[in-house]
Amino acid sequence: MIYVDETEPDGDPECAFHHRKVTLKRQKDVRAVFEMLNEIGRGKFGRVMKCRRKDGGQIFAAKFVTCTRREDRRNVEREIEIMNQLKAGKLLQLFDAFDNGRNEMCLITEYIGGGELFDRVIDEEFVLSEKACRVFMKQIVEGVHYIHSKQIIHLDLKPENILCMTRTGNQIKIIDFGLARKFEPMKQLQILFGTPEFVAPEVVNFEPVGYCSDMWALGVICYVLVSGLSPFMGDTDLETMANVTIAEYDYDDECFDKVTDQAKDFIDKLLVKDKSQRATAEHCLKHPWLNNIQTRRHSAGRALTSAKDNLNHQRAAWNKRASCYYLFDSTSRTASQLYEGNLCLSQQENLSRKTQTLFSDRIFFKILS
């Protein structure tokens, strides 16, 4: 059996290189500098390859994005600008960036070999406890607190964007800043991409978003981590989004019998429909659940067996989804599905507008009521 280290990690995860301000290398092919080894990930906005630097042998990750329009390149350039500001061990670090001048851009980042956090905890040999959940959640909150301190909103916090540094350690990293935006209070940011299970009510209701939108996602992640259940998941994405706007959830399942009241209170501070009343990252770091874990009752260290079983089913449900990203447009008041495939961002926006999934009067009323 694998027991996670339930003590506080000593410092931030190490990176193979010091934080650096990356300047985009234009008219240069990344393959002239790095040897591509194998694919390690694929998402809605690109694919990720494990690669090796030809002149030194160091291992990195290469995120490829297909770009056919100037707007596509601008989106990648924004990601570079944001990552250049994020000098923290709990956040994925950028090493280099290339634009081949034709239709492809590539970001070279540190390589994280431990896999996704949720894949790790559902392993048959892994013993999941509330203390372990607390260790992971505190690191995630600390990472988000740093992001917010730089006036940046992540906007895509979800389990697959939390990676473990190693297969056996307890340190994590937050990845994927492709949807992140600089927060400018004088400008209302309303048109967003999101994953139904993790978007906040203000996103689905076409209202302005802010740091609070990231905090809602943390509440959902914590709920899923300690129980293996998704608090708002419905039979369809539209039903899930409707459940999000209602913002009603419970702890009735027997899997919560082993979860402490402090953990539930932590979640309650985040899954608040009124975004102005939602806990900030700073407030979360002061919450009793993330502090003085040794003083809590013994049940905090018991294995969450039901949660592991639930997580396995939850993971299978996520994998069956044909698409999990939506474009929320406040102007047309629509939620448009983004489909799988190696499409650049602007191509996906155009495709989604052509195939918009408009809410019916019944569903739309349910969502806005």
CA–CA distance, 351 with 340 (Å, rounded to integer): 11
Question: What is the reported pLDDT for 128?
Answer: 78
Please report, for the domain that includes residue 104, its CATH number: 1.10.510.10
* Nearest CA-CA partner of 29 in 93, 121, 103: 103
Question: What is the reported pLDDT for 236?
Answer: 87
Question: What is the reported pLDDT for 342?
Answer: 39
Print the domain residue range for 260.
1-369
CA–CA distance, 192 with 179 (Å, rounded to integer): 8
DSSP state of 323: -
**Given the structure tokens 């501070």, which residue do they identify?**
269
Q: Of 72, 96, 99, 156, which is the active-site residue?
A: 156
CA–CA distance, 230 with 214 (Å, rounded to integer): 17
Order of strands, sheet of 59-66, starting from the edge strand that comes earlier in the sequence: 25-26, 94-99, 104-110, 59-66, 46-53, 34-43
Question: What is the reported pLDDT for 202?
Answer: 92
Cβ neighbors of 190 (< 8 A, separation 6 or more) are 206, 207, 208, 209, 328, 330
Question: What is the reported pLDDT for 319?
Answer: 61
Residue type, position 49, single letter: M
Task: Tell me if residue 156 is catalytic.
Answer: yes
Cβ neighbors of 134 (< 8 A, separation 6 or more) are 263, 289, 290, 293, 300
* DSSP-derived pairing of the beta strands 104-110 and 94-99: antiparallel
Specify the DSSP element, H or E, that contains 192: strand 192-194
144: tokens are: 């988000």
Question: What is the reported pLDDT for 190?
Answer: 56
How big is the CA angle at 340 (ends 222 and 38), to the nearest 5 degrees?
Answer: 85
Question: What is the reported pLDDT for 107?
Answer: 97
Question: What is the reported pLDDT for 194?
Answer: 76
Q: Cβ distance 229 to 222 under 8 Å?
A: no
CA–CA distance, 4 with 166 (Å, rounded to integer): 11
pLDDT tens, per residue, the chain with 369 residues:
555 666 778 778 888 889 999 999 999 999 999 999 999 988 766 799 999 999 989 999 999 998 888 888 998 999 999 999 999 999 999 999 999 888 899 999 999 999 888 887 777 666 778 998 999 999 999 999 999 999 999 999 998 899 999 877 889 999 999 889 999 876 766 556 778 889 999 988 888 889 999 999 999 999 999 998 899 999 888 899 999 999 999 999 999 998 999 999 999 999 999 999 999 999 999 999 999 655 444 445 566 766 666 766 666 666 655 446 777 766 677 777 765 443 444 444 443 443 333 333 333 333 333
Count how many domains the chain has: 1
* Nearest CA-CA partner of 177 in 51, 93, 99: 93
Question: What is the reported pLDDT for 206?
Answer: 84
Question: What is the reported pLDDT for 277?
Answer: 97
